[in-house]
Amino acid sequence: MSTAHPPGPAPARTGPPASITRAERSLAPDIARGGMLLFIAIANVAIYLHGSGTDAYGHFADATRADHLALFFEQLLAAERSRPMFAILYGFGIAVMASRMFARGMDPKAVRKVLRRRSWWLILFGLVHATFLFFGDILAPYGATGLIALGFVHLSDRALRRWLIGSAVFVAGVSLPLFAYAYSGLSSGAAGEGAGDLSNYAAQMGFGVFASLGSTVLFTVLALFVPLVAAGMALQRSGWIDRPEEHLPALRRVFVSGMAVNLATSLPVALVGLGAWEPPTVLFVSALYLTLLGGMYAGLGYICGFALLAHRLRSKGRRGLPGALAAVGERSLTSYLLQSLIMAPLLSAWGLGVGAHVGYLGAYGIAFGTWALTVLAAVLMDRAGGRGPFEAALRRLTYGPRR
């Protein structure tokens, strides 16, 4: 691993850095982001469902056998995995930006200033997103975590590892038990059911503001994403993701062990979703804690798996399947928001209300179809030679206009 200290002799340059060309971009991070967005779509779609009563675990009481089976596999393979993946790749992106600015001769204070501005804009993007479309937005909590991660960009590798380990211990021992307890209450209480039945758009807007501010404060105080963001920054320094050919044995070990942890820690919650296990509250909270804890490592495992996939498909370059996934990954912010632009009006009670007429199986089908549409949109933008509109806006707001 290399350190993050900026080189001394290079003169600092002002203005926004030149855009990274396609030849300069690493394929693996973009493929990982593209695949991650499918996980996000599947994880988020159930929030839009409404119109039915829920059982003690927050699942629809009238779910069919097919719905229970679909929920089982979602809980087994995807639930509570998309947020860790997003956080790790978010930290990876912060480290990439910092390393490029250091290479241009910028000092740590100037680098933190740019990253601070970007974090505040992400918080604003998230608040607007939650207000007008999707109260389950995650951009604002990530932006707030980015403000914490400002202190990591100039640290040595050893110091970064200390922060990673220390924050991971805090999250595992303090934050996740509290979060699991609170989450179990939301799942089994009226709040989880009522949130999906916001038929009045003004009520959705008010609830969205409240939910965004509340989740941002909660995730920041509990530092839930801090170890994951630090892990992403460490991954960037190690070269595991952008140079997978140099780290294949380690990537395979983490991928295989990550999938083993994934299945072992998510199985109890998945059995609840299947209807095969009805644990008391204490055991249900314990199962939630287990899947949240395992999801942190499973998310890393999935990312290593995408890096291995990118290496395997490297001969295709940015063509075919890897090219399509990479096109989405290059435009991950636009693709994430586009999911809400499609699913929220379609499924929500304030929109067409389709979420009242589909079960889990149908919802996951809609999520996959929505992700496929974002892939198509990203490929078309890629062929037109344009970046995503929200990436372009965030870049301009972060760096200012090019001089």
Domain ranges of the chain: 27-398
- Could you tell me which of 79, 64, 47 has the C-alpha nearest to residue 275? 64
DSSP category for residue 25: S
Distance CA 273, CA 268 (A): 9
pTM exceeds 0.85, yes or no: yes
Residue 318 confidence (pLDDT):
77
Query: pLDDT value at position 20?
Result: 59
Residue 11, pLDDT score: 47
Q: Which residues contact 177 (CB under 8 A, 6 or more apart)?
A: 289
Q: How far apart are CA 13 and CA 20, in angstroms?
A: 16
| CA 276/CA 69 separation, integer angstroms | 10
3-state secondary structure 197-231: CCCCHHHHHHHHHHHHHHHHHHHHHCCCCHHHHHH
260: which residues sit within 8 A by CB, 6+ positions away?
Answer: none
pLDDT in tens, the chain (403 residues): 444 444 444 444 545 555 555 555 788 899 999 999 999 999 999 999 988 888 889 899 889 999 999 999 999 999 999 999 999 999 999 999 999 999 999 999 999 999 999 999 999 999 999 999 999 999 999 999 999 999 999 999 999 999 999 999 999 999 999 999 988 876 654 334 444 567 889 998 999 999 999 999 999 999 999 999 999 999 999 999 989 999 999 999 999 999 999 999 999 999 999 999 999 999 999 999 999 999 999 999 999 999 999 898 887 777 888 899 999 999 999 999 999 999 999 999 999 999 999 999 999 999 999 999 999 999 999 999 888 999 999 999 998 766 4
Query: d(Cα 366, Cα 172) in Å, to the nearest integer?
Result: 34
- The pLDDT score that the predictor gives to residue 10 is 45
